[in-house]
A = this chain, B = another copy of it.
C-alpha cells in the first residue's frame, strides 16, 4: 500500500493523467444528469427530506421520496437509482429500505447506502446497515466515524457527527470494498475509495460552514445516487463530491454566515457549469 508521499515520480505522472481523464468523465456525467434528469428513489430522514429533494432538483435530477413498504417494490423497479439513508428510521421505513434494496439489487439498478449514526449506541439502524451491506450497495458514503465503525473498527462517536478525521481513517474503510464499488468518506477533504481505479481520490474544496448546515451529508448521498444513474459508480461518486465541493467553495465566497451560505449553496448547485467543474475541481488520485 503506497502512501502519497512515497510514490515515485512516474507513478505521480500516471496519477496526474488519471486526474484529467477523470475530470472529463465528471463533466460528461454532469451533462448526462442535466439531459436525462433521472428519477431517484430516496428513503431518507425527516431532517433531510426537504433539503435533499431541493439539492437533487437543483442538480438536475428528479427526486421522489417514497418511504413506505407498500410501494417500495413497484417504485424501486422504475427508479434509475436508489438512495437509502438511516438518519431517523421508522419501522415502516426500515421495511421499505429492505424491499427497495432487494428490488434494485435484482434489477441491477445502482444504489447508495448512508449508514447515518452507525455505532454502538444506535444498534437498530446499525444492524440494518449490516444487513443492507450484504446486499452489496453500489456506493457507501458517510462521515469518518460512521464508515470506520461500519468497517468493523472501534470508533468513538458523538451522535451523528464524526469524532475522527477523514484523512486519518480512510484506509480503515478498505475492507468495505468487498461489498461495494466505491466508499466515500466526507470530511474537511473527502476520500473516495474506488475498486474500478484501485485508488483513493481525495476531493478538496467545500467550506468549513458545510458541517454547520444539517443534512448536507444526507443530500450528498442522494446526489451520488443521482449521478450513479448516468455514470459508473466511481465517476458518479467523484462527480457528486466535486459538485458539492465547488458549490460549497463558491457559496462561501458569497456568504460567510450559515443562513445565507446555505441559500447560496443551493444557488451554486444549480448554477454549475462544465467550465466551473474543470476550473475549480481540486482532486488528487492516491494509489491504494
Q: Which residues of A contact B (CB under 8 A)?
A: 39, 41, 45-51, 53-54, 57-58, 62-68, 70-71, 74-75, 77-79, 87-92, 117, 120-125, 158-161, 211-215, 257-260, 262-267, 269-271
Contacts and interface: CB of A to CB of B under 8 A. Distances in A.
Contacts of A77: 121
Contact of A65 (B47, B63, B124): B47
Given A71-B125, A213-B54, A270 B259 contact: yes
Contacts of A92: 90-91
A85 B79 CA distance: 22
A260 B263 contact: yes
A122 B74 contact: yes
Contacts of A260: 263-264, 267
Contact of A257 (B211, B257, B270): B270
Contacts of A212: 57-58, 270
A214 B47 contact: no
A125 B65 CA distance: 13
A85 to B, nearest CB: 12
10 contacts: A46-B67, A49-B50, A58-B259, A66-B88, A66-B117, A68-B124, A74-B123, A258-B266, A258-B267, A259-B263
* Interface residues of A, dominant DSSP: mixed
Nearest to A74: B121
Nearest to A64: B159
A90 B88 contact: no
Contacts of A121: 71, 74-75, 77-78
A57 B124 contact: no
A215 B70 CA distance: 22
Nearest to A251: B259
Nearest to A117: B64
A270 B47 CA distance: 19
A160 B63 CA distance: 8
A121 B49 CA distance: 21
The 10 A-B pairs of least Cβ separation, nearest first, read A259-B266, A64-B159, A53-B214, A70-B124, A259-B267, A257-B267, A259-B263, A46-B49, A258-B270, A39-B159
A66 B258 contact: no
B257 A71 contact: no
Nearest to A120: B74
A136 to B, nearest CB: 25
A258 B161 contact: no
A270 to B, nearest CB: 5
Contacts of A41: 159
A107 to B, nearest CB: 14
Contacts of A47: 49-50, 53, 65
